[in-house]
Chain A
Amino acid sequence: KAGVTQTPRYLIKTRGQQVTLSCSPISGHRSVSWYQQTPGQGLQFLFEYFSETQRNKGNFPGRFSGRQFSNSRSEMNVSTLELGDSALYLCASSARGGVEKLFFGSGTQLSVL
């Protein structure tokens, strides 16, 4: 069974640009959640999608958005990038979400210059 796949692996953008990150969950998993990891703030929850609906959201500004498609693949978008958005963005999937164990991808390392 293929694991969680995130693309691209690395991304370099400049301030003010926007970026879209992609996540393909494990086959059969309907829940996808996103996390931001930085040296200062650690791992922080961004949002969770289940069956194309956002089920939960963390404390991030509206510049951070996401969506989930009917095949459970998910995208995360960040508009008007700021230097502080530089981080490793991790996607995780599970069958139903909630308090299940999560399967993580290797992440997308975003650098904002």
Chain B
Amino acid sequence: AQKVTQAQTEISVVEKEDVTLDCVYETRDTTYYLFWYKQPPSGELVFLIRRNSFDEQNEISGRYSWNFQKSTSSFNFTITASQVVDSAVYFCAHESAGANSKLTFGKGITLSVRP
């Protein structure tokens, strides 16, 4: 069975600091997808990124960057120059390819960015 571990539960930083959110996953599948979602206080989860298991190229999108390493089964997320609006709960998730796939979430990391 798949498992996603987000060892950090709460992180507090001061605005403009960089922050990295860790994610480690366990899977027996060779083809799978990894996701990051953000949940602001309003409740709805917002999609941030999806990577498939064959694409280890790291990605940068504005202040966000992702580091995917299959060798360590990690998919970490970094926010550069954090802002107060980044305060939210961040979830890492795994989904296998194929029929009957379902999204398995980590427990989430609560990020607080203080002004």
Q: How far is the CA of A98 from the CA of B18 in the complex (A)?
A: 33
B91, closest chain A residue (CB): A43
Classify chain B: how many residues form its interface, as a range: 20 to 34
Q: Tell me if A84 counts as interface (CB < 8 A to partner B).
A: no
Given contacts A42-B107, A43-B91, A101-B50, contact A88 B101 (CB under 8 A): no
Given contacts A43-B91, A55-B100, A56-B100, contact A101 B106 (CB under 8 A): no
Tell me which of B40-48, B58-66, B76-84 binds A. B40-48
Q: How far is the CA of A45 from the CA of B45 in the complex (A)?
A: 14
User: Total contacts A to B, CB within 8 angstroms?
Assistant: 52
A3, closest chain B residue (CB): B44
Q: How far is the CA of A104 from the CA of B103 in the complex (A)?
A: 13
Given contacts A102-B45, A103-B47, contact A45 B104 (CB under 8 A): yes
Instruction: Give chain A interface residues in 61-113, CB to chain B under 8 Å.
Output: 88, 90, 92, 98-99, 101-107
Q: Is the pair B44, A102 in contact by a Cβ cutoff of 8 Å?
A: no
- Which A residues have a C-beta under 8 Å from some C-beta of B? 3-4, 33, 42-45, 48, 55-56, 58, 88, 90, 92, 98-99, 101-107
Q: Report 28 cross-chain contacts, Cβ distance below 8 Å, ordered by A residue.
A: A3-B44, A33-B103, A42-B105, A42-B107, A42-B108, A43-B91, A43-B105, A44-B105, A45-B103, A48-B102, A56-B100, A56-B101, A56-B102, A58-B102, A88-B43, A90-B43, A90-B45, A92-B45, A98-B97, A99-B52, A99-B95, A99-B101, A101-B35, A102-B47, A104-B37, A105-B44, A106-B43, A106-B44
- Which B residues have a C-beta under 8 Å from some C-beta of A? 33, 35, 37, 42-47, 50, 52, 91, 95, 97, 100-108
